[in-house]
C-alpha cells in the first residue's frame, strides 16, 4: 500500500509547488509526474496490466493550480488472468489531461480529459456491444473517440491503496456493465458493424440516484437494429439505448423463454405456450435484475399494443406480473410450468403460441 501513498504525496507536492516561483513549480511538476508515472506503472503491473509505453509531451500548472499534461500516450497489454480478461491490449491517446485538487480534508481530486482516443483489441468478440444487439460478428479492434471525460474521487489518506483498488474495480464495472458509482462524465462515440458497414454510435453518461450509466443515442440504436432479425417497439429501442450493456442478457432471456415455451408445447399441446412464455420471461428477468427493472422491460415489449388498448396486451401484462410474483416468492424455475397450468391468475388463451 506504500507506493500508492507515494503517488498521492507526489501529487500534493505538485499542487503545493504552485505557490513557489513558476520555474520551480514546472520543475517540481515534471519531477513529480515522472516519479508518479514509474510508480503507477509498477502498480498496474501488479493488477495484471503491463504498461508498454507511458509518456507525455509536457506538464504545466495553471494559474488556478491545476496540473495539466499535454499529448499523453499510454499503451498496455493485459495479462491473463486479469479483471480485463476479454481484452488483450489497450491504448490511450489524450491531447489534454488535467488534474485538479478540490479539497485537502478529505482529499478530493478531479481528473478531466479532452480530445482522446481509446483503442482496444479484444480476445474475442462474444461480449462486444454489437454482438449484444444481434448485429453479428464484430471486429476485434475497437475504437472510442472521446470529446470530454472526467471523474471525481475521494481518497482517504490512510487507505490510499484501498481507494486505488476501488477506483479500478469501478472502472472495470463500467467497462463490463455500463454502470458505476463513480461521479463520472463522458461524451464521445464508437463504431459498431452491421451488415459489413461501420456505423458511428454516440455515447454519453447520465447520473441518477448516485449511479452513472453509459447510454446510447436512440436514433443510432434504431438505425443499427434495422439490421436485426428481431423487431422492437419504440419503448424497447429506448430501453436498449438507456441500458446498452444489459441488452445481451435481456435478449438472451427473452429467447430462452420463447425456446423453452415452444419446446414444452411440442412435447405437450396442452401447455399454454404464450402464457408460459410471458410468465417465464418475467420470472427470469426478475431473478436477475429485480422486479422494477423486469417490469420496465416487459412493459416496453407490450408498448405498442398497450397504447392501442389491445386486450392481448392487457393479458400479457397480467401474466408478466404473475412471473414477477413467482420470482419474488422464490418459486424454483422447475416448478414454474406446473404452477402456470394450475394458477387461476394466469390468463390462458387456446391457440395462442409464443411469437
Which of 254, 284, 278, 294 shows the shortest CA–CA distance to 352? Answer: 278
List the end-to-end C-alpha distance of the chain, in Å, as a whole number. Answer: 56
Residue 340 has pLDDT above 90, yes or no: yes
Query: Quick check: 109 and 102 in contact, CB under 8 A?
Result: yes
- Which residue ranges make up each domain of the chain? 2-229, 245-342
Most confident segment among 60-69, 124-133, 159-168: 60-69
> What are the tens digits of pLDDT across the range 103-151?
877 888 899 999 999 988 877 655 555 444 555 555 677 888 999 999 9
Instruction: Quote the pLDDT of residue 186.
Output: 94
Separation of alpha carbons 169 and 110, rounded Å: 18
**Percent helix, strand, coil in the chain (nearest 5)?**
45, 30, 25
In the Cβ-directed half-sphere of 111, how many Cα atoms lie within 13 Å? 12
Residue 191 pLDDT grade (very low, low, confident, very high; cuts 50, 70, 90): confident
Please spell the DSSP secondary structure of 114-138, one letter per residue: EEEEEEEEES-STT-HHHHTT----
Burial of 322 (0-12, 13-18, 19+ CB in 10 A): buried
Which of 353, 288, 278 shows the shortest CA–CA distance to 322? Answer: 278
> What are the tens digits of pLDDT across the range 293-305?
999 999 988 775 4
Separation of alpha carbons 346 and 248, rounded Å: 28
Which of 311, 307, 249, 310 shows the shortest CA–CA distance to 281? Answer: 249
Burial of 59 (0-12, 13-18, 19+ CB in 10 A): buried
> What are the tens digits of pLDDT across the range 234-252?
888 888 899 888 877 888 8
Separation of alpha carbons 122 and 189, rounded Å: 18
**Phi first, then psi: what are they for 137, rounded to 5°?**
-60, 135
In the chain, how long is the greatest CA-to-CA distance?
A: 86
**Phi first, then psi: what are they for 21, rounded to 5°?**
-65, 155
Residue 268 has pLDDT above 80, yes or no: yes
Instruction: Quote the pLDDT of residue 158.
Output: 60
Long-range contacts from 194-199, C-beta under 8 angstroms, 24+ separation: 194/130, 194/135, 194/136, 194/224, 194/226, 194/227, 195/135, 195/136, 195/227, 199/223, 199/224
Q: Which three cell numbers stand for residue 190?
A: 464508437
pTM, to two decimals = 0.74
Amino acid at each position: 500500500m506504500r507506493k500508492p501513498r507515494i503517488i498521492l504525496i507526489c501529487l500534493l507536492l505538485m499542487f503545493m509547488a504552485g505557490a513557489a516561483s513558476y520555474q520551480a513549480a514546472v520543475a517540481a511538476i515534471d519531477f513529480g509526474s515522472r516519479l508518479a508515472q514509474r510508480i503507477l506503472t509498477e502498480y498496474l503491473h501488479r493488477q495484471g496490466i503491463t504498461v508498454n509505453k507511458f509518456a507525455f509531451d509536457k506538464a504545466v500548472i495553471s494559474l488556478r493550480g491545476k496540473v495539466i499534461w499535454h499529448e499523453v500516450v499510454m499503451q498496455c497489454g493485459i495479462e491473463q488472468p486479469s479483471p480485463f480478461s476479454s481484452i488483450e491490449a489497450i491504448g490511450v491517446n489524450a491531447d489534454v489531461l488535467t488534474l485538479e485538487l478540490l479539497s485537502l480534508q478529505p482529499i478530493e481530486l478531479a481528473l478531466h480529459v479532452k480530445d482522446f482516443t481509446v483503442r482496444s483489441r479484444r480476445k474475442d468478440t462474444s461480449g462486444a456491444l454489437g454482438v449484444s444487439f444481434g448485429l453479428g460478428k464484430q471486429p476485434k479492434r475497437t475504437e472510442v473517440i472521446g470529446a470530454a471525460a472526467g471523474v471525481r474521487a475521494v481518497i482517504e489518506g490512510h487507505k490510499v491503496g484501498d481507494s486505488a483498488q476501488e477506483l479500478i474495480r469501478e472502472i472495470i464495472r463500467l467497462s463490463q456493465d455500463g454502470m458505476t458509482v463513480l461521479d463520472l462524465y463522458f461524451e464521445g462515440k464508437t463504431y459498431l458493424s452491421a451488415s459489413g458497414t461501420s456505423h458511428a454510435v454516440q455515447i454519453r453518461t447520465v447520473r441518477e440516484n448516485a449511479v452513472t450509466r453509459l447510454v446510447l443515442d436512440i436514433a443510432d440504436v434504431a438505425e443499427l437494429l434495422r439490421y436485426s432479425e428481431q423487431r422492437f417497439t419504440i419503448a424497447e429501442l429506448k430501453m436498449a439505448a438507456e441500458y446498452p450493456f444489459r441488452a445481451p442478457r435481456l435478449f438472451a432471456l427473452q429467447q430462452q423463454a420463447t425456446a423453452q415455451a415452444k419446446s414444452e408445447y411440442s412435447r405437450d399441446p396442452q401447455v399454454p405456450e404464450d402464457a408460459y412464455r410471458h410468465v417465464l420471461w418475467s420470472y427470469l428477468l426478475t431473478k436477475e435484475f429485480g422486479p422494477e427493472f423486469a417490469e420496465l422491460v416487459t412493459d416496453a415489449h407490450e408498448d405498442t399494443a398497450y397504447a392501442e388498448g389491445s386486450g392481448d396486451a392487457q393479458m400479457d401484462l397480467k401474466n408478466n406480473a404473475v412471473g414477477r410474483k413467482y420470482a419474488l416468492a422464490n418459486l424454483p424455475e422447475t416448478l414454474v410450468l406446473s404452477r402456470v397450468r394450475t394458477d387461476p391468475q394466469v390468463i390462458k388463451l387456446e391457440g395462442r403460441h409464443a411469437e
